[in-house]
Amino acid sequence: MDATPSAESVLVWISDRDNWLMVFDNADGGYQVVEKFIPPGNGGSILITSRDQGLARITSGTCLEVTEMGEDEAIALLLKSAMIDNDSVNVATAAQKLIAALGCIPLAIDQVGAYVMSCGCGLDHYLELFMEYRARLMSDEDFRGASLYNKTTYGTWEISLEAIKCRAEGKNRAQSLAAQSALTLHKILAFLHHDNISEEIFKNAALNFMEREGEITDTLPQSISLLDSKTLFLNVDGKWDALQFEAGIRVLVSFSLIKSIGKLYSVHPLVQTWSRDR
């Protein structure tokens, strides 16, 4: 007889006790994965950290979004990571410029600090390097920063994109189509202004394209001739497919590659530069 307890028996054992704490850290597998490991009853507390906003549905709405660091916090992290104990005006100014370029992303800041500390270069010099060699610096495996995946800043986002690609090639048709839409959106969003991107932009582009479909292609800009129904989220009847567009948006939101507030979307500037640098 197998003496190893099953997950079900462990959950029952936990549910018979009080004042326990269960932590699901970095739970990105979806609410279905987490839900089946939650003990019955109300004897303890559960803490879930995740990029997937969909997990809020199993927390009775008790959730807190961790927003970007403030500038002062980001500068403090940079100086601590770089082991710079200098509060001069020049250092503060250089740190402020560098934080503006990084966009207050903790992982990127920690990675930069590791580079500055290891190489002994100043913040001003690193900023010059960053402007010219951004992609190489953010992908440098020698300076991984505080990534949970032991990856660089760009490497961490690559993991997310690869997961979406795997889903796009999967057997579940609905998930596959949603992931394909997400990949299409990811490419387009890299070249738009990073903030207040509306669904109407995509919808109007699709409708205008259909209105001009019968025109002679030689008279249209080359960029228009490269568009197709998949890129424009048109269904088989040539109509705007809001469901498929929103399915792609949900995938990108679940991987924290974009943020969504109603029908407005935003992409972190550094995520955009990574998308373009690929």
In a domain, 219, yes or no: no
What is the model's pLDDT at position 62? Answer: 79
pLDDT range class, residue 90, cuts 50, 70, 90: confident
Query: Best-predicted range by mean pLDDT among 27-36, 104-113, 181-190?
Result: 181-190
In a domain, 212, yes or no: no
In this structure, the answer to whether residues 236 and 149 fall within a common structural domain is no
In a domain, 124, yes or no: yes
User: Could you give the angle at the alpha carbon of 79 between the alpha carbons of 78 and 80, nearest 5°?
Assistant: 90
Model pTM score: 0.76
What is the model's pLDDT at position 192? Answer: 93
In this structure, the answer to whether residues 122 and 189 fall within a common structural domain is no
The domain boundary, picked from 134, 164, 194, lies at 164
Mean pLDDT of 194-222: 77
In this structure, the answer to whether residues 147 and 134 fall within a common structural domain is yes
The domain boundary, picked from 8, 43, 66, lies at 66
Asked whether the predicted pLDDT for residue 147 surpasses 70, the reply is: no
What is the model's pLDDT at position 229? Answer: 73
Question: For residues 243 and 250, what is the distance between their CA atoms, to the nearest angstrom?
Answer: 10
In a domain, 266, yes or no: yes
Q: What single-letter DSSP state applies at residue 171?
A: S
Question: Containing domain of residue 273, as a range?
Answer: 173-207+228-277
In this structure, the answer to whether residues 86 and 151 fall within a common structural domain is yes
Domains in the chain, number = 3
Mean pLDDT of 164-173: 93
pLDDT range class, residue 1, cuts 50, 70, 90: very low
What is the model's pLDDT at position 3? Answer: 53
In a domain, 187, yes or no: yes
pLDDT range class, residue 10, cuts 50, 70, 90: confident
What is the model's pLDDT at position 145? Answer: 57
In this structure, the answer to whether residues 101 and 148 fall within a common structural domain is yes
In a domain, 2, yes or no: no
Q: Residue type for 96, please? A: Q
What is the model's pLDDT at position 223? Answer: 54
In this structure, the answer to whether residues 60 and 129 fall within a common structural domain is no
Beta carbons of 131 and 101 less than 8 angstroms apart: yes
In this structure, the answer to whether residues 47 and 76 fall within a common structural domain is no
Q: Which two tokens stand for residue 87?
A: 């509060």
| E strand or H helix at 76 | helix 71-81
In this structure, the answer to whether residues 124 and 195 fall within a common structural domain is no
3-state secondary structure of 40: coil
In this structure, the answer to whether residues 192 and 272 fall within a common structural domain is yes
Which residue pairs from 262-266 have beta carbons closer than 8 angstroms and sit at least 24 positions apart in sequence? 263/198, 263/199, 263/200, 264/196, 264/197, 264/198, 265/189, 265/197, 265/198, 265/199, 266/194, 266/195, 266/196, 266/197
Asked whether the predicted pLDDT for residue 56 surpasses 80, the reply is: no
Asked whether the predicted pLDDT for residue 230 surpasses 90, the reply is: no
What is the model's pLDDT at position 144? Answer: 66
CATH of the domain at 272: 1.10.10
What is the model's pLDDT at position 69? Answer: 87
Mean pLDDT of 200-211: 86
Asked whether the predicted pLDDT for residue 268 surpasses 80, the reply is: yes
In a domain, 5, yes or no: no
In this structure, the answer to whether residues 33 and 82 fall within a common structural domain is no
Task: Pick the range with the lowest mean pLDDT from 2-6, 90-94, 168-172.
Answer: 2-6
What is the model's pLDDT at position 215? Answer: 60
Beta carbons of 210 and 238 less than 8 angstroms apart: yes
In this structure, the answer to whether residues 179 and 269 fall within a common structural domain is yes
In a domain, 47, yes or no: yes
Arithmetic mean of pLDDT over the chain: 84
In this structure, the answer to whether residues 181 and 152 fall within a common structural domain is no
The domain boundary, picked from 5, 39, 66, lies at 66
Task: Pick the range with the lowest mean pLDDT from 22-31, 190-199, 230-239.
Answer: 22-31
